[in-house]
Amino acid sequence: MAEDDLFGFLLLSQTAVSKRATIIKDLKQQDCEIVYQEWVSLDLDRAKKFLQLYSKPDEQANYEEDKVNKLTENSCLALVVKKTQLSATFKELFDGQTSQRDVETGLFSTKYGLPVDSFYYSTDKNNAKECIEFLFPNLDIHNMMENNPRKYLESTVVPILTSGLTQLCKMEQKPEHPCEWLGQYLIQHDPTLSPKKKIYFILGGPGSGKGTQCEKLVEEFHLCHLSAGDLLRKEMQSGSSHGQLIDRMIRDGEIVPGHITIELLKNAMEEQTQSSGFLIDGFPRKLDQAGAFEKWIGDFEFILFLDCPQEEMEQRLLKRGQVSGRSDDNLDSIRKRFTTFVETTMPVVEYYRSRDKLVQVDASRSVEEVYKDIRTYFIEST
């Protein structure tokens, strides 16, 4: 068996990432073992270096702007794949296939209907190694490829176990069956098994119906709903050192500093091990929160924006205020929240709309009508 044809490297750039579920399914159907997979964010410099490293035998390395943009605009997904005669599989899946349309347009596309430069792959052992080492300097790819079980475990399983044990030690209330818990932790954090959990942000003015619609999405799509506002209120009630600040800011309709909210979200996401993805409600309320989240936690699929007139939201909130007990469901706080929403959160909405990462629904209608529209986006995405 040719060594060069056993291990391979595959990088899905921005356009291909949306089809990752189908691609991974196809690879598995072709008996490919996904030995490792991880998200990578490349800046301009690293994207150029990657293109320099990556060159098919018949191709000169080149840095066309378009290629660099595709690699830098969003996170890419890199995979290490194992299968005998892998090059034939990669060629079949990711090389250009000439259809009538391709002949007419002169552009080659793959079986996924994506341009060929959406995929970077190599089955040349040295080239694949170089690319992987460049993208993941801490991964012991040498031992992974050389098939040394002990070293392989040291570079893959041991780090996950160590982090699981650390988390177990930190837990105030220990699980009844720690070994079982640890086993589950291993499975849930196995990058070769668990596709990355999808993250969706839900935005809209106060009272637009974010929480109400999230409840319905949880029921149908089994996503985990995390409300930034709820987490802040819980933190405030826990008597934490940030409590007073959060209390004052919520009453005044202001936005709590992003690092506090992101830390709360990160902890809540780490605790949640069962769901296939997250609905994050009421976040990002400010542009810098979105950037910080992507840096510290990860990329998201899209923002769902519930568009609702202010008068309707005001009526809903005043009605909710009769029973909610929330310190900010009173006319004075509600008006302040509206102002903050328009001045600070709408720029987030417009920014992501301009980047095609936003979907909008008319939230002024009945709960059912609104949900009917919303669910179509999740059917497409999950």
Ligand X SMILES: Nc1ncnc2c1ncn2[C@@H]1O[C@H](COP(=O)(O)OP(=O)(O)OP(=O)(O)O)[C@@H](O)[C@H]1O
Ligand Y SMILES: Nc1ccn([C@H]2C[C@H](O)[C@@H](COP(=O)(O)O)O2)c(=O)n1
Quick check: 1 and 50 in contact, CB under 8 A? no
Interaction of residue 229 with ligand Y, rule CB under 6 A: yes
Quick check: 308 and 364 in contact, CB under 8 A? yes
CB 338, min distance to ligand X, A: 11
Quick check: 248 and 195 in contact, CB under 8 A? no
Q: Which residues pair with 278 in a beta bridge?
A: 199, 224
* Residue 316 interface partner, choices ligand Y, ligand X, none, CB cut-off 5-8 Å depending on type: ligand X
Residues 319-378 that bind ligand Y (CB under 6 A): 328, 337
Stretch that binds ligand Y, among 61-69, 129-137, 168-176, 226-234 (CB under 6 A): 226-234
Judged by CB under 6 A, the number of residues near ligand Y is: 15
Quick check: 206 and 338 in contact, CB under 8 A? yes
Mask of contacts with ligand X, 172-211, x by CB under 6 A?
Answer: --------------------------------x-xxxxxx
Interaction of residue 253 with ligand X, rule CB under 6 A: no
* Residue 232 interface partner, choices ligand Y, ligand X, none, CB cut-off 5-8 Å depending on type: ligand Y
- Residue 284 gets the label, from left (phi > 0), alpha (psi -120 to 50) or beta, of beta
Interacting residues of 175 by C-beta distance below 8 A, sequence separation 6+: 168, 181
Q: Provide the edge-to-edge strand list for the sheet that holds 7-12.
A: 33-40, 76-82, 7-12, 119-122
Residues 257-286 that bind ligand Y (CB under 6 A): 261, 282-283, 285
Distance CA 284, CA 223 (A): 18
Stretch that binds ligand Y, among 40-48, 217-225, 227-235, 291-299 (CB under 6 A): 227-235
Which parts are annotated binding residues?
A: 207-212, 233, 254-256, 282-285, 320, 326, 337, 365
Which parts are annotated binding residues for ATP?
A: 207-212, 320, 365
Binding site for ligand X (CB under 6 A): 204, 206-212, 229, 282, 316, 320, 366-367, 370
